[in-house]
């Protein structure tokens, strides 16, 4: 093992190797394989690539372990071989490196979202990184390279995990977009500061962009840190050529930019996707001829606004829905499914009935059961603009990535939408378009964190947005979940993330609601609960909900009542379903602060009949309000 700190102290530029994945692919290993496993199954292939980079002039080799962490290996059923894969990869690189070249243990992101934007706890993520780092250290690496991270929180946990396992130096590298920020909106200057504060000996960037964008970023990152800087760009941006993804930057082009990066003050140069031993050989010439310029360090100031969250708008001032929540008043809302086509008029007629009856809001689901319908945001805007009734917008994570959701939410704020119900969303396979893809970039917990930050004037990267948004933050919960403890853990995380009210799945079994309310009361959780109530229309409708809608539990006694009534006739079945819904609401009233009644098949008058269970309800629809 060699002491990498000698390179840190000598003040000269040094050269990493190039892409491992690019070389493996060029030698016939397809992308459906686990490249990390090749250190066990085809060690000679991996060793030959390392040797080619050594011959080209690389001073630091990265192990073939970019994806060799537990979550990623588990996708291939290889998590039980984590130690063997990492230790073997380190040994292969060490054998190729000889006495002259350093070996860096390569570690990439986990491939799962961590809190606050995902279900993986910070400590759990730290443990994943710790065990990989320990295996690499046992294999004989000289340093660690944390690379291709987009999330500052995740790379923070990676640094902590490595430090738990070893005191070897850390090179910490993140990815940026062409505008010089991460996918979470963090600026390169902030990245450099944070990575240095957290203990990385070298800070920098890799992957994602070509050398030109990295050169622009270098001009900011050099002035933001006293740590040595590393830059490992792709060989240009990828292009499609005859159906193949190609990186078009030539070795000469990469070498010219390596020289320019060094002149800017970058100490460690290398290549990421698309770079080959030919690129590294060309870059080696630039490294040998140049030393970083001694440019004076400038201070990059971040305004107080960018570092400090603002006080959220008071709940009572955000919307009428928020006012009633804050005052402890009982809320009434009806769920109206958006139209399948582009004509909203039949839906709007039903909403006019609700307004005339004095209902507080309209719940607008977002692609329920993965069906293709008018978008929830557009539907909600139509309701508020054409009917003048507040909407409670269900907003799900299935169809949009993090940036898309951020854009939608900022637009919703500008258009006057305030009341949100944040949900993960039903997977496409349960709908009529099973081949459609799902994004699920974050889940409902992460989305709640995102909206809560927006309400404090911060984007996902902690940067100031100006005026804070003023959303009323709601979440879903299922008192009848099969794994009740898992559901409760997720619910508590949602509340911790900033949820201000919750709406339950349709409740047909009062015992489930009682168990749920008793649990949150016992744990001292104070949050308004709005019960979902669904008036059944027939025994067939009850069977459908019980068997085909995830999370809905219909007790056998309710099923039997619907069977008996439906056997009499269609109207009797509908009357019985409405009576069951009223009974459920009346019994639940002492435990809840509101009710969401579904309008089955768009039958708004049927939903309104359920509200008759509310003491003092006077929501009588005048004849002139009923559409002809």
CA–chain centroid gap for 284, Å, is 39
Q: Are 129 and 157 in contact (CB under 8 A)?
A: yes
No. of helices (H) and no. of strands (E), the chain: 25, 18
Q: Is 485 exposed, middle or buried (0-12, 13-18, 19+ CB in 10 A)?
A: exposed
User: Is 396 marked as a binding-site residue?
Assistant: no
Outline where DSSP puts E strands in 385-431: 391-396, 419-423
Give the residues across from 96 on adjacent strands: none
First-to-last C-alpha distance (Å) of the chain: 85
Nearest CA among 111, 26, 31 for reference residue 69: 111
Which secondary-structure segment (H or E) carries 83?
helix 82-97
Note the maximum CA span of the chain. Answer: 93
- What is the rounded CA–CA span in Å between residue 131 and residue 410? 40
Residue 296: left if φ>0, alpha if ψ -120 to 50, beta else—which one?
Answer: beta
Separation between Cα atoms, residue 373 and residue 340, nearest integer Å = 4
Contact between 445 and 116 (Cβ < 8 Å):
yes
273 is in an annotated binding site: yes
What are the start-end ranges of the E strands in 202-353?
Answer: 202-206, 229-232, 238-241, 244-247, 268-269, 331-335
3-state secondary structure (DSSP) of residue 392: strand
If one counts every other C-beta atom within 10 angstroms of the C-beta of residue 6, the result is: 9
Q: Is the peptide bond before 404 cis (omega within 30 degrees of 0)?
A: no
Closest to 531 (Cα-Cα) out of 587, 602, 609 = 587
Which residues are CB-neighbours of 600 under 8 A, at least 6 positions away? 534, 535, 536, 537, 541, 606, 607
- State both tokens at 106: 């390569």
User: Do the annotations mark residue 397 as ligand-binding?
Assistant: no
Torsion of CA 124, 127, 128, 133, to 10 degrees: 160
Pick out the residues of the known binding site.
207, 272-273
Pick out the residues of the known binding site for Zn(2+).
207, 272-273
């Amino acid at each position: 093992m060699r002491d990498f700190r000698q390179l840190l102290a000598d003040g000269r530029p040094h050269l990493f190797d190039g892409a491992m994945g690019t070389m493996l692919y060029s030698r016939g290993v397809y992308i459906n394989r686990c490249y990390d496993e090749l250190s066990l199954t085809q060690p000679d292939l991996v060793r030959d690539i390392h040797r080619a980079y050594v011959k080209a002039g690389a001073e630091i080799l990265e192990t073939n372990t970019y994806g060799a962490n537990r979550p990623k290996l588990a996708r291939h059923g290889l998590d039980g071989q984590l130690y063997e894969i990492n230790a073997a990869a380190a040994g292969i690189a060490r054998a190729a490196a000889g006495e002259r070249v350093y070996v860096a243990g390569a570690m990439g992101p986990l491939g799962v979202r961590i809190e606050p934007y995902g279900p993986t706890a910070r400590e759990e993520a730290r443990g994943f990184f710790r065990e990989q780092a320990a295996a690499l250290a046992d294999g004989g690496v000289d340093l660690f390279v944390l690379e291709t991270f987009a999330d500052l929180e995740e790379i923070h946990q990676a640094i902590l995990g490595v430090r738990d396992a070893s005191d070897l130096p850390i090179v910490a590298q993140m990815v940026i977009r062409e505008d010089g920020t991460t996918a979470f909106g963090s600026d390169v200057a902030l990245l450099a500061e944070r990575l240095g504060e957290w203990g990385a000996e070298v800070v920098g960037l890799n992957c994602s962009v070509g050398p030109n964008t990295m050169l622009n970023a270098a001009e900011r990152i050099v002035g933001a840190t006293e740590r040595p800087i590393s830059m490992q760009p792709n060989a240009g941006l990828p292009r499609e050529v005859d159906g193949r993804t190609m990186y078009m930057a030539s070795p000469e082009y990469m070498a010219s930019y390596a020289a320019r990066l060094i002149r800017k003050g970058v100490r460690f140069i290398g290549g990421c996707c698309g770079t080959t031993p030919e690129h590294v050989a060309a870059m080696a010439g630039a490294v040998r001829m140049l030393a970083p310029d001694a440019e004076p360090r400038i201070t990059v100031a971040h305004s107080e606004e960018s570092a400090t969250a603002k006080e959220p708008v008071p709940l009572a001032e955000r919307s009428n829905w928020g006012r009633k929540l804050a005052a402890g008043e009982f809320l009434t809302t009806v769920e109206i499914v958006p139209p399948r086509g582009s004509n909203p008029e039949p839906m709007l007629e039903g909403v006019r009935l609700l307004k005339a009856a004095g209902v507080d809001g309209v719940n607008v689901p977002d692609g329920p059961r993965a069906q293709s319908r008018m978008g929830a945001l557009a539907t909600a805007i139509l309701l508020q603009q054409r009917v003048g009734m507040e909407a409670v917008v269900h907003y799900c994570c299935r169809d949009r990535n993090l940036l898309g959701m951020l854009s939608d939410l900022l637009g919703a704020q500008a258009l006057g939408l305030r009341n949100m119900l944040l949900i993960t969303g039903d997977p496409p396979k349960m709908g009529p378009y099973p081949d459609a893809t799902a994004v699920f970039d974050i889940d409902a917990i992460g989305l709640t964190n995102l909206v809560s930050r927006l309400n404090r004037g911060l984007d996902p990267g902690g940067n100031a947005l100006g005026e804070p948004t003023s959303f009323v933050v709601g979440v879903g919960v299922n008192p009848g979940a099969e794994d009740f403890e898992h559901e409760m853990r997720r619910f508590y995380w949602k509340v911790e993330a900033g949820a201000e009210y919750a709406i339950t799945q349709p409740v047909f079994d009062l015992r489930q609601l009682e168990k749920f309310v008793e649990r949150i009361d016992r744990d001292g959780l104070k949050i308004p609960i709005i019960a979902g109530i669904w008036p059944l229309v027939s025994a067939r409708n009850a069977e459908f909900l019980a068997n085909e809608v995830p999370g809905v539990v219909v007790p056998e006694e309710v099923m039997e009542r619907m069977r008996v009534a439906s056997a009499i006739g269609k109207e009797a079945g509908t009357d019985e379903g409405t009576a069951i819904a009223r009974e459920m609401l009346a019994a639940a009233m002492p435990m809840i602060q509101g009710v969401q009644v579904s309008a089955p098949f768009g039958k708004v008058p049927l939903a309104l009949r359920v509200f008759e269970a509310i003491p003092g309800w006077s929501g009588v629809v005048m004849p002139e309000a009923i559409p002809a």
